[in-house]
Structure 1
Amino acid sequence: MIILITGTPGVGKTTVSSILVEKIDAYLVNINELVDEKHLYNGIDEERGYKIVDLDALFNEMDEIIREVDGPDRYVVVEGHLSHLFENSDIVIVLRANPDVLRDRMKIKGWKAAKIRENIEAEAIDVCSYEAFQIHGDKVNEIDTSDIPPVQVADLIIDVINGDKSFPVGNVDFLEYLK
């Protein structure tokens, strides 16, 4: 089973994914680490300070990894803000966070004001969920991490995996933040 965990930077993807893989004994693919390790980028956006990822190369590498580790009783968790663009999935989880909470998290990490503003706007207009839904449809679930500890978020994802709960796209809404 392939589980994609995506969301705007700062929503808790890495923390939640590391807890989740321990709880369900899954293989973890961290997209940022994979991009760095295999040099799957075409350059650096100097203004924004991030790598320009070669998506075709990334997805080819992910396909290869999944072929090696996937099996009928095996979970593969793919974590990263680009993971929802990968078409191969069984479940997609979009982690969300209130833009004010997100701003605080990014400030703590020392992010630049322009990057914080860009990511807060992306979160408010729901970019990751929209893109994920366009590719994966009803496989997509949204979970608001604003006030929930990462362990509890991982437990909610397990409930989705087991078919006990669903959190359809549209259940989290931060559009009022733009007013």
Structure 2
Amino acid sequence: MKKLVVIIAGTPGVGKTTVGRRVAKALDAEFIDVPELVRRGRLYEYYDRSLRTYVVDEKRLEEGVNEAITALGRGCVVVASHIIPKIKPIHDVRVVVIRLNPLSLIKRLERRGYPRRKIIANTEAEFIGVVYSEAVRLYGVDRVIQLDATGLNPADTVSKVLKTLKGLEGDHIDWLSSLSEHDIEKLIRFLSKK
């Protein structure tokens, strides 16, 4: 029987780790926090001081995540990451991409003290759906669901994730179509001040 692996993905700052831990608890599953695994396992090439982040060695990351999943034995595993790891096909993989209104993401990242360059990079990635696109590329549209967590607290987001894992459809997210003209102008002004 294949092990269920649920990847909780999204741009940095959308709430993946908080939601992932709670989803794992609700499913009585093991939890893997990829940024923690990267640091502990030294699965990075170097540390970028200007962005205050590790630059991940993707091949080593893939190996490290798959080894961690295998080491956990049987049952369900929840993996939280902004980088979508390629999980071995011996597992049943579902990907839930948490999305957040780019303007809400800016506020959240500013509160966390992220450097401006990093806020801009992450906001651009969220706006165009980089994480969702990568998940679909790796796993196909049938195994990837996106959820809009804008305005939701972690408990409501977890509830939404659990419902989608039981078959409820996710959200269709296109920030360009759904944001008001005023909000798009505000976003463009912020992103253009590099």
**Shared fold per TM-score greater than 0.5:** yes
Q: Which runs of 5 or more residues in structure 1 are unaligned?
A: none
Question: Contact 2:11/2:82 (CA < 8 Å) preserved in 1?
Answer: yes
Per the normalisation by structure 1, the TM-score is: 0.90
In structure 1, what is the equivalent of residue 70 of structure 2?
Answer: 67
Q: What amino acid sits opposite 2:150 in the alignment? A: S
What's the CA shift for 1:149? 1.4
Where in structure 2 are the equivalents of 1:79-90 lying within 5 Å?
79-82=80-83, 84-88=84-88, 90=93
Higher Cα radius of gyration? 2
Instruction: Give the alignment's TM-score, normalised by structure 2.
Output: 0.83
Question: 1 CA distance for matches of 2:85 and 2:134?
Answer: 7
- Determine the structure 2 residue equivalent to 1:157: 161
What is the number of residues matched between the two proteins?
173
Residue 173 of structure 1 and its aligned partner are, at CA, apart by 1.3
Give runs of aligned pairs for residues 86-101 of structure 1, distance below 5 A: 86-88=86-88, 90-101=93-104
Kindly report which structure 2 residues correspond to 1:1-179, keeping only aligned pairs within 5 A, or say none. 1-71=4-74, 74-82=75-83, 84-88=84-88, 90-137=93-140, 138-163=142-167, 165-167=168-170, 171-176=172-177, 177=184
The residue identity in structure 1 corresponding to 2:146 is: E
Identity %: 32
Once the 2 structures are TM-superposed, how far is the Cα of residue 133 of structure 1 from its aligned partner?
A: 0.7
- Give, in whole Å, the separation in 2 of the partners of 1:173 and 1:150: 22
**Which residue identity lines up with residue 154 of structure 2 in the other structure?**
P
Deviation string for 1:120-163 (max 9, x for gaps)? 11111111111111111110000011111111111111112222
